[in-house]
Structure 1
Amino acid sequence: MSQKTVIVQELRAARQGHIRWVRYASALISGMEVLKDHVPVVGTDCRFGRWYYGAGAALSGLESYRNIEQPHLDLHDMYMEIFKLLFDDDNQASPGFFGRLLGRSSTQKNARTEKARSRFADLEAVSQVILKHLEQLESDVLALSDAEIERLFYTAEA
């Protein structure tokens, strides 16, 4: 199997991992239980980030590769914000007996959930930017000759 084929397969797997991760964020807002593996992490620790900063870093000479980093980090920041909106009760003032009696607790929760949904719309927009850059990166890789790919990997290893 050629180096180019391996890179394209890794790139497609990374893209699928990204899409799956966005689905987890959507499920979180829908109230589904979150597995420990799907709790927000920094952009360097997710499956896509491990590829990007690991094997994928050999492609760092390509502009389409470099265009991915900031939106990817922004995406993680948004996901962390959504997670905190939904689960960080430490920052929520206790409504007290009368507040609970009058339903203020559920009103606050609903407001946080609505804000999380709004932030998820932003997250989806950033995700689309990332996917567009990934498509461009794949096109750029496919356009490279085998010699150019070898040079990229030789330079990355040196």
Structure 2
Amino acid sequence: MKKDETLKSLEIAAVELTRFVETAKSLIDGIDVEDKVLPTSPKETKFGEWFYGDGQKLKALSNNPLECMSNIKHLHEQLHEKYRIIFDLYFSEEKKGGFLSKIFKPKQKVLTESELQLAHKEYAAMQKTAEELLNEVARLERRLVAVSEEKINTLI
């Protein structure tokens, strides 16, 4: 594990998290999202792949408290839960579809006023969670910057 590569991975992870939140906003704004991001397990996203892979090695950093990693995990899961609620509001009919529904792009439904209010509420919660998550990632990044390259190389 190299320090510069790990820092770059953290940077990319933060961008992916932001992009994920923007996708939810696009749904709410009625913008047809080209690649509809289907809800996935937190482990199946680009951030999750990094966090549950190489990111776990950062638990061993002496200046990185264990609650940092557990906070990141918890917030990341919350972010996905909020997105799942929003996505299901717009594409709930897809869950009922059969084999062919997996082949064709899902169709976004028009929400009722109460569903739209719920979507806005969940999006606001999603934004707050994303902000907290990005703050934790930034703390992790600062801790990583403070550690020597040699210590990071021992985490391989």
Same fold per TM (> 0.5)? Answer: yes
Distance 1:111 1:89, change over 3 A: farther
> Unaligned stretches of 5+ in structure 1?
92-105, 154-158
Letter paired with 1:42: S
RMSD: 2.1
Which residue in 1 is equivalent to 2:51?
52
Which residue in 2 is equivalent to 1:13?
12
Return 13-22 or 142-151, whichever deviates more.
Answer: 142-151
TM-score using structure 2 length? 0.79
Give the Cα–Cα distance (whole angstroms) in 1 for the partners of residues 40 and 112 of structure 2. Answer: 23
Give the Cα–Cα distance (whole angstroms) in 1 for the partners of residues 7 and 94 of structure 2. Answer: 44
Give the Cα–Cα distance (whole angstroms) in 2 for the partners of residues 125 and 6 of structure 1. Answer: 28
Return 53-62 or 43-52, whichever deviates more.
Answer: 53-62
Shift in Å, 1:58: 1.4
Equivalent of residue 146 in structure 1, options 139, 144, 149: 149
- Contact between 2:3 and 2:153, CA under 8 Å: does it hold in 1? no
Number of aligned residues: 137
2:134 aligned with 1:120: no
Distance 1:37 1:30, change over 3 A: closer
Shift in Å, 1:136: 0.2
Which residue in 2 is equivalent to 1:65?
69
Give the Cα–Cα distance (whole angstroms) in 1 for the partners of residues 126 and 58 of structure 2. Answer: 25
Which residue in 2 is equivalent to 1:88?
92
Distance 1:81 1:43, change over 3 A: same
- Contact between 2:82 and 2:126, CA under 8 Å: does it hold in 1? yes
Give the Cα–Cα distance (whole angstroms) in 2 for the partners of residues 10 and 37 of structure 1. Answer: 24
Give the Cα–Cα distance (whole angstroms) in 1 for the partners of residues 154 and 94 of structure 2. Answer: 52
Equivalent of residue 136 in structure 1, options 106, 115, 139: 139
- Contact between 1:86 and 1:113, CA under 8 Å: does it hold in 2? no
> Unaligned stretches of 5+ in structure 2?
96-109
| Structure 1 or 2: more helix by fraction | 1
Name the % identity.
27
Letter paired with 1:58: K
Return 54-63 or 139-148, whichever deviates more.
Answer: 54-63
Query: Of the two, which has the highest radius of gyration?
Result: 1
Deviation >4 Å, runs of 4+ = none
Shift in Å, 1:24: 0.6
CA deviation vs aligned residue, 1:82-101 (integer Å, no higher than 9, x gap): 1112221489xxxxxxxxxx
